[in-house]
Structures are given as C-alpha cells and as structure tokens.
Amino acid sequence: MINHNILKNIILTIILLSSLVLLGLALYISSINGRYGEGFYYFTIPFIIHVIFGVFLAIFVYNKKNSKNVLKISIFYSSYFITAVYAILQWPGGDDGPGLAWFYGVVGGSLITMFFGIIFIIYSIVLIKQKIR
C-alpha cells in the first residue's frame, strides 16, 4: 500500500531543496559582475524573486499539505524555467562567463525542475481525482 503522505513529504522536500540550490546558484551568478565593479545583473531579479516565493510557498505547504496545495506548489515550481529563460534572453553580449554559467546552471536546473514539476502535477491531479487528501 502506498502511503501518499510520505510521497507528498518527499515531493515537498525535493521542491524545497532544489529551489534553495537554484536560489543560491542564481544569487552567486547574478553577483559575479559586481565583483568586477560593474554591478548586479538586474534582469535576474524576476527569477530570484520567483524562487524566493517558491521557497516560502514550499515551507507553507509543507505545514498544510494536501493534494490541492501540492498541485499549486508543483505548478509554481515547474514555472521557474520561464523566468530563467527571460534572464538569459536579456544577458548582454560579450559577457560570456556568467551568461554561460546562468544558461547551463540556472536554465538547465530550472528545466529539470520543470520536468519534475510536471510529474508532481500529474501525481497531484491523480490524487485529487481519487479524492485522497
């Protein structure tokens, strides 16, 4: 017999930990330019705010977990890719190092979160259809 509460805990833990990793990576890469005296990459702010809200939402849902809340956080989690791609499209030319780090690290990581998020969305919808809290 599958214990759905344990699976929900695992899903929320994956969401929380991977969001924290992406947040740390995004903060590090977006501040690389500041180390050379040129400032912060301002166009990464939407992604950083998006992930910060995702971390707080994951913590909130962790305390009040039910299938609908897991569905909501999974949808939010799978949308990290959109703001990560927005930032890479704004990246200035000639700034290859941080841009490639953002592309492979943050965009690649958010692409992985999108695929996991879709799996979590499908699982949550199945639980809601079966009326499992």
H or E element, residue 113: helix 108-129
For the cut 90, the answer to whether the pLDDT of residue 77 exceeds it is: yes
User: Is 11's pLDDT higher than 80?
Assistant: yes
Please give the residue range of the domain that contains residue 21.
4-129
- pLDDT value for 90: 87
**The predicted structure's pLDDT at residue 115:** 96
According to the 3-state scheme, what is the secondary structure of 16-33?
A: HHHHHHHHHHHHHHHCHH
Confidence of residue 8 (pLDDT cuts 50, 70, 90): confident
Asked which of 68-72, 122-126, 129-133 is least confident by mean pLDDT, the reply is 129-133
Asked if the model's pLDDT at residue 47 lies above 70, the reply is yes
Mean pLDDT of the chain: 87
Rounded Cα distance, 23 and 44, in Å: 11
- Place 30 in a pLDDT band, splitting at 50, 70 and 90: confident
Total tally of structural domains belonging to the chain: 1
